[in-house]
Amino acid sequence: MQCNKSGQGDTITPTQFIKHGDTIVSSRGTFELAPVTNKYGVLKVIRPGLIVLLNDTNATVWSTNSSKSVQNPVAQLLDTGNFVVRDANDPNPENFLWQSFDYPTDTLLEGMKLGTDLVTGLERYLTSWRSSDDPAPGNYTYHCDPTGYPQNLMRKGANVTFRAGPWNGIRWSGAPNLVNNSIISFGVVMNSRVQGWVNYHSAVVDDCDTYKLCGAYGTCNILSDPFCQCLDKFEPKHPDDWERSDWSSGCVRKIPLNCTGDGFIKYSGVKLPDTRNSWFNETMTLDECRVVCLRNCSCMGYTNLDIRNGGSGCLIWIEELVDIRQLSQSGQDIYIRMSASDIDSAGSKGKTTVILAIALPLLVALILLGLGVGLILCKRKRREDPVLTTTGRLGGHSNKNDNSNQIHQENFELPLFDLLTLTNATNNFSFADKIGEGGFGQVYKGVLEGGQEVAVKRLSETSEQGLHEFKNEVKCIAKLQHRNLVKLLGCCIQGEEKMLVYEYLPNRSLELYIFDEERSALLDWPKRFNIINGIVRGLMYLHQDSRLRIIHRDLKASNVLLDIEMNPKISDFGMARSFRGDETGANTRRVVGTYGYMSPEYAVEGIFSVKSDVFSFGVLVLEIVSGKKNRRFVHPDHHLNLLGHVSTVTPNESRGQAKHVNCDYDAEQ
pLDDT at 377 over 90: no
Which residue did the predictor score with more confidence, 344 or 383?
344
pLDDT at 301 over 90: yes
Which residue did the predictor score with more confidence, 329 or 523?
523
> What is the pLDDT at residue 87?
85
Q: Which residues contact 307 (CB under 8 A, 6 or more apart)?
A: 168, 169, 170, 332
> pTM of this prediction?
0.41
> What is the pLDDT at residue 162?
86
pLDDT at 541 over 60: yes
> What is the pLDDT at residue 358?
57
* CATH class belonging to 387-504: alpha beta
> What is the pLDDT at residue 636?
63
pLDDT at 640 over 50: yes
Q: Residue 581's pLDDT band (boundaries 50, 70, 90)?
A: low
| Three-state secondary structure string covering 386-448 | CCECCCCCECCCCCCCCHHHCCCCCCCCCCECCHHHHHHHCCCCCHHHEEEECCCEEEEEEEC
Q: How many residues does the chain have?
A: 669
> What is the pLDDT at residue 592?
66
> What is the pLDDT at residue 114?
83
Which residue did the predictor score with more confidence, 368 or 272?
272
Q: What whole-number distance in Å separates Cα of residue 627 and Cα of residue 621?
A: 10
Q: Residue 597's pLDDT band (boundaries 50, 70, 90)?
A: confident
> What is the pLDDT at residue 321?
94
Which residue did the predictor score with more confidence, 202 or 110?
110
> What is the pLDDT at residue 34?
56
Task: Provide the CATH topology of domain 509-669.
Answer: Transferase(Phosphotransferase); domain 1 (1.10.510)
Which residue did the predictor score with more confidence, 293 or 572?
293
585 half-sphere exposure, CB direction, 13 A CA radius: 15
| Three-state secondary structure string covering 218-262 | EEECCCCCCCEEECCCEEECCHHHHHCCCCCCCEEECCCCCCCCC
Q: Evaluate whether 281 touches 314 at the Cβ level (below 8 Å).
A: yes
Q: pLDDT digits over 17-26, tens only?
A: 333 333 333 3
DSSP string of 333-373? EEEEEE-HHHHHHHHHHHHHHHHHHHHGGGGHHHHHHHHHH
For 198, phi and psi rounded to 5 degrees? -125, 115
Which residue did the predictor score with more confidence, 381 or 109?
109
> What is the pLDDT at residue 165?
80
Q: Evaluate whether 412 touches 479 at the Cβ level (below 8 Å).
A: yes
Q: Which residues contact 139 (CB under 8 A, 6 or more apart)?
A: 128, 156, 157
Kindly list the distances between the CA atom of residue 227 and the CA atoms of 350, 432, 607, 623, in Å, as whole numbers in the listed order.
29, 25, 22, 20
> What is the pLDDT at residue 394?
38
| Three-state secondary structure string covering 498-512 | EEEEEECCCCCECHH
Burial class (CB in 10 A: 0-12, 13-18, 19+), 662: exposed
Q: pLDDT digits over 207-216, tens only?
A: 788 888 899 9
Q: Which residues contact 612 (CB under 8 A, 6 or more apart)?
A: 551, 553, 585, 598, 599, 601, 602
Which amino acid makes up residue 424? N
pLDDT at 664 over 80: no
Q: What stretches of 30-113 show up as alpha helix (H) in DSSP?
A: none
User: What is the rounded average pLDDT of the residues 84-106?
Assistant: 86
Question: How many Å separate Cα 413 from the centre of its chain?
Answer: 37
pLDDT at 134 over 70: yes
DSSP symbol at 541: I
Residues with a known catalytic role: 554
Which amino acid makes up residue 660? H
Q: For the chain, what percent of residues have pLDDT higher than 70? A: 71
pLDDT at 400 over 60: no
Which residue did the predictor score with more confidence, 189 or 153?
153
User: What is the rounded average pLDDT of the residues 305-327?
Assistant: 89
Computed over every residue of the chain, the mean pLDDT equals: 75
List residues bridging with 126 in a β-sheet. 142
> What is the pLDDT at residue 462?
61
Q: Specify the 3-state DSSP secondary structure of 513.
A: helix
> What is the pLDDT at residue 570?
92
Where exactly are the structural domains of the chain?
Answer: 1-102, 105-205, 214-351, 387-504, 509-669
498 is annotated as contributing to ligand binding: no
Q: What whole-number distance in Å separates Cα of residue 363 and Cα of residue 175?
A: 45
User: What is the rounded average pLDDT of the residues 423-444?
Assistant: 85
Q: Mean pLDDT: which of 30-34, 73-77, 223-227 is highest? A: 73-77
Which residue did the predictor score with more confidence, 400 or 516?
516
Q: Residue 319's pLDDT band (boundaries 50, 70, 90)?
A: confident
pLDDT at 585 over 50: yes
> What is the pLDDT at residue 432?
84
Pick from 629, 581, 574: which is nearest to 225 by CA?
574
Which amino acid makes up residue 61? V
Which amino acid makes up residue 545? D
pLDDT at 498 over 70: yes
Q: Evaluate whether 493 touches 416 at the Cβ level (below 8 Å).
A: yes
pLDDT at 407 over 50: no
pLDDT at 587 over 70: no
> What is the pLDDT at residue 123?
86
User: What is the rounded average pLDDT of the residues 328-339?
Assistant: 84
Task: Provide the CATH topology of domain 1-102.
Answer: Agglutinin, subunit A (2.90.10)
Pick from 25, 12, 20, 29: which is nearest to 72 by CA?
12
Q: Residue 661's pLDDT band (boundaries 50, 70, 90)?
A: very low
pLDDT at 317 over 60: yes
Which residue did the predictor score with more confidence, 460 or 275?
275
Domains 1-102 and 509-669 share a fold: no
User: What is the rounded average pLDDT of the residues 55-60?
Assistant: 81
User: What is the rounded average pLDDT of the residues 152-166?
Assistant: 86
Q: Residue 314's pLDDT band (boundaries 50, 70, 90)?
A: very high
pLDDT at 412 over 60: no
Q: Evaluate whether 520 touches 566 at the Cβ level (below 8 Å).
A: no
pLDDT at 304 over 90: yes
> What is the pLDDT at residue 196?
46
Q: Evaluate whether 139 touches 128 at the Cβ level (below 8 Å).
A: yes
Pick from 558, 623, 590: which is nearest to 225 by CA?
590
> What is the pLDDT at residue 492?
87
Q: Residue 601's pLDDT band (boundaries 50, 70, 90)?
A: confident
